[in-house]
Structures are given as C-alpha cells and as structure tokens.
Amino acid sequence: MKKIAFVGLGVMGYPMAGHLQKAGFDVCVYNRTTAKAEQWVKEFGGCLAQSPREAAQGCEIVFSCVGNDNDVRQVVLGDDGIFAGLAVDAILVDHTTASAELARDLDALAKLENKHFIDAPVSGGQAGAENGVLTVMAGGDLTIFEQVKPVMDAYARFSQLMGQVGSGQLAKMVNQICFVNTVQGLAEGLNFAQKAGLDTDKLIETISKGAAGSWQMDNRGKTMCDREFDFGFAVDWVRKDLAMAFSEAEKIGADLTITKQLDGYYEEVQKKGGSRWDTSSLIARLDD
C-alpha cells in the first residue's frame, strides 16, 4: 500500500483524494481550511496533517490541487511546504492549472534536492472529479510519469505525458482555448434557436448526432437553454486560465484574437453578477 498525500481539498481535490483512499491507498490530506480536511477524513478515513510539510513526510507521492500560481508556491515552498517534507526520490504531482513557467521552476528546485516533479493539470470539471473520469495532461520524465499513472488511474480515465515539464500546462491552455470557443458557438446557436421558436430539446437531440455535436452540447446544451449555470467551473477560474494562455501566446507568437474576444465576453458575464456561474453562462450575455 503506497502512502500518499493530497494537498488541496477544493471542488476537484476533495473527490480526487477520496478516489485514492477508496482505491486502497493510505492517504494523508492537508487543506488550508482545516474544517474541510476534517470533513474529508470523516467521510473517507485516512489522516489529516497540520501542514503541507507534515502531509508529505514519509510519502512516495504527493498530489496538490489548489487555485493558482501563488497558491502553489504557498503550499510547496517554505519551511512548512511540501518540498520541506518530501523525501529524496519522492514525487510531487501538481494538478493545479498554473503557469508552465512555475512548473519549470518547481522542477528545477526539485532536482536540486534529488526529488521529482510532474505538472499534471486535469480536464473534466467537478463532475469528472466526482465520477473519477478526469483527463490528465502531464509534463515530466517518462519514468516518473509511469510510476504515478497507475495511482492517478483512481480518478482519471485517461492520462497522457505531453512532453517535458511544463508541457502539461501548455496542453491545458490549448484545452481552455478550444472549449471556450466551442461554448460561444453553442451559445449563439442555441440563442438563435430559442428566438426562432425551435424546440431546443428536439434540436439538441438531432444536431448532436452530426458535425455540430460536442461534449459541451451533450452536457450543457439543455441547461444553457434553461439558464442553469451551477456546475462548478466558474467564470473567474476560466479567465484566470485564459490570462496564462495569453501570456504564453505573447512569448511564442500565437494568435488568440478570437479567444481574447471571448475573454471580454466572460468579463461581461462577471459584470452581470456571474463570477461564480459555470462557463456555459456565455449564453446569458445574449439575453440583453
């Protein structure tokens, strides 16, 4: 039985850590809000640590899933951070959607101490985490990835090593670019359908079978029509992710003109009070 730590019990980390415990791993958790960690232990078992350093001690693999670059630095670095407790040859797998630059910095620090780092952002949202069917995009050494993949299988239906450290974060940026463009097309189409008086249930059932079909249509089409936006991946978070993609695009000379326009649309949704609405809420701005 591998001893594992999981740092960060938000909407994603909480169920991911739960799947690890249910899969038979010995999981120790840490969360900055202690009550959440206590709730997790009550539900799943395992143990609770008082700091990321304590959680990492004696573990072969430590997983982290927090909010942004600064949150990652807070739980990984410093006297009470994960690296301070991580043993030689142990592995930190960071599932946070963060910058590729931070991933490379953490990898360099890990190497100085003969430790290992994998950047491994995920796709699938809260439902994917709860159902154990996430997609993992990883960056790092193949040998290390092969050690952690069987463990990640507890909550992931597919994991892929995209390349060297940072490649996972770059792949996640592509994921976000693609999906927000898909959401906007779906929003405009469904808004058109409603104003044209079409039966949107029949419409979605029909066109989802053809070239217009997508995960977004299958999982968010009907709820977009009903203006239901409570699905976990908030507008605030996608704008954070897109900001990192824009920064990277400037470095490599990639054109994200349309995606920048969509980011402005999400800003409009925020101004409507939708900061915590699901990203499918792009359709809401078309109601005006």
Q: Which residues participate in catalysis according to the annotation?
A: 172
- Which residue has tokens 């009470």? 80
DSSP string, 74-108: HHHSSTTSHHHHPPTT-EEEE-S---HHHHHHHHH
Sign, Cα dihedral of 182, 187, 192, 194? positive
Q: How many C-beta atoms surround the C-beta of residue 178 within 10 A? A: 12
Q: Where are the beta strands (DSSP E) in 95-155?
A: 116-119, 122-123, 134-139
Buried b (16+ CB within 10 A) or exposed e, 236-248: ebbbbbbebbbeb
183 Cβ contact partners less than 8 Å away, ≥ 6 residues apart: 216, 220, 279, 280, 282
